[in-house]
Amino acid sequence: MAEVDSTNAEGMRLAPELEVPTWIFAARQVAGRGRRGRAWGDPQGNFAATLLLRPTEPPQQAALRSFVASLALRDALSALAPEAELTLKWPNDVLLNERKLAGILLEGSSLAGRMAHLVIGVGVNLMNVPETVSDGAVSPVSFREGAGIVVAPEILLTHLAAAYARREAMFVRDGFAPIRADWLARAARLGQTVTARTMQGEMVGRFETVDEGGNLVLSTGTGRQTIPAADVFFERGE
């Protein structure tokens, strides 16, 4: 479609009508969303798409597809720019040269403890970066600037759909363990000091791992801390 408020919102609207996995693609988003209701800037030429799924797992397990999706997106971008330095930032960002290239947002609904449907929204700065950035956040970069490559959104969608299908098959067949191992092998700032900002406050510690439930694990001055949801900020100067 040419324009939509949000591909995730469109996916939620279409969910009752669609029984098979479906990609929803828009040339332009005018009301894109990020985590915690933040606006997601979508300048002209960038990528916005959503995958609609009907998972069979409980919601907590289905939510691990944020790692499936970020790996698949990295796979697709790496195929287009093999020399690019692409890393993954917990919980759902793809970085290029340690600057934010892409974000992923999962939304859905559940019924009787099972997922009714799940939408996985993907936004990539292919050509341009948003005008505003949250204080302390990783600075944005475009694929054109950081990798020196101009890619049409439709081409990225073709690569992403194939990459996601491969990673989804791995997740369904083998569970989270191999996805987790591959994600950690590509994790940004693993073993370094980061700040996790939750609704309750901030926690500073060494990024130790991501556990079997997808939680961030930090080694802090008060011991090992497991964090299910947070915004992560990098130490300046590292």
**For 203-214, what is the mean pLDDT?**
97
Closest alpha carbon to 72 in 187, 177, 143, 168: 168
What stretches of 98-180 adopt beta strand conformation (E)?
Answer: 99-111, 114-124
Question: pLDDT tens-digit profile of 182-192?
Answer: 999 999 999 99
pLDDT at 49: 96
Question: pLDDT tens-digit profile of 85-110?
Answer: 999 999 999 999 999 999 999 999 87
pLDDT band at 137 (very low <50, low <70, confident <90, very high): confident
Lookup: tokens for 193? 């000091």
Closest alpha carbon to 68 in 214, 218, 189: 214
pLDDT band at 134 (very low <50, low <70, confident <90, very high): low
- pLDDT at residue 34 greater than cutoff 60: no
- pLDDT at residue 206 greater than cutoff 70: yes
Helices (H) and strands (E) in the chain, counts: 6, 13
Closest alpha carbon to 108 in 61, 71, 75, 68: 61
pLDDT at 28: 72
Question: pLDDT tens-digit profile of 147-179?
Answer: 999 999 999 999 999 999 999 999 999 999 999
- pLDDT at residue 199 greater than cutoff 60: yes
For residue 106, the one-letter residue type is L
- pLDDT at residue 130 greater than cutoff 90: no
- pLDDT at residue 48 greater than cutoff 90: yes
pLDDT at 136: 66
pLDDT at 10: 93
Residue 35 dihedral angles phi and psi, to the nearest 5°: -65, 150
Q: Which residue has the higher pLDDT, 33 or 171?
A: 171
- pLDDT at residue 238 greater than cutoff 50: no
- Averaged pLDDT of the chain: 90
